[in-house]
């Protein structure tokens, strides 16, 4: 279990270093996650220690969203002031996502039916 946790922390630290010196616009944990996924693809699998730690973390994902919800409440006055713009952006993005997903499905389903 310790080696799985060390792997996760190592890749997060590498991501933080890369974020600090090379890609400051990307968050370090995101870079670390991408590096970890690349590492796992190159190794062609997940070892049991890393899987054990990942399973342990995934049981508590709900708690990880509590700080984000508190942060949203902190900016409630700004959200109220810009509610119309936020709702318009959300509705537009949902409609565009559904439309583009439908086009991709239609494209790939026609390719599959042609074969």
Cβ proximity of 36 and 8 under 8 Å:
yes
Structural domain of 9: 1-59
Residue range 23-46: average pLDDT? 87
Measure the N-to-C terminal CA separation of the chain; round to a whole number of Å: 47
Total number of domains in the chain:
2
Residue-wise pLDDT tens digits, 101-113: 999 998 888 777 6
Whole-model pTM?
A: 0.56
Are 82 and 95 found together in one domain? yes
Are 23 and 39 found together in one domain? yes
Cα distances (Å, whole numbers) of residue 74 to 26, 64, 68, 78, 99: 24, 17, 10, 9, 34
Is the confidence at residue 62, as pLDDT, over 80? Answer: no
Residue-wise pLDDT tens digits, 12-30: 999 999 989 988 888 888 8
Report d(CA 109, CA 45) in Å as an integer. 30
């Amino acid at each position: 279990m310790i080696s799985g946790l060390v792997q996760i922390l190592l890749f997060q630290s590498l991501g933080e270093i890369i974020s600090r010196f090379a890609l400051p616009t990307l968050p370090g944990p995101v870079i670390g996650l991408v590096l970890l996924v690349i590492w796992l693809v190159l190794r062609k699998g997940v070892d049991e220690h890393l899987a054990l730690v990942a399973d342990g973390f995934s049981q508590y994902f709900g708690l990880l969203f509590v700080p984000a919800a508190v942060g949203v409440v902190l900016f409630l006055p700004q959200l109220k002031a810009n509610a119309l713009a936020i709702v318009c952006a959300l509705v537009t993005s949902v409609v565009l996502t559904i439309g583009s997903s439908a086009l991709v499905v239609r494209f790939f389903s026609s390719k599959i039916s042609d074969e």
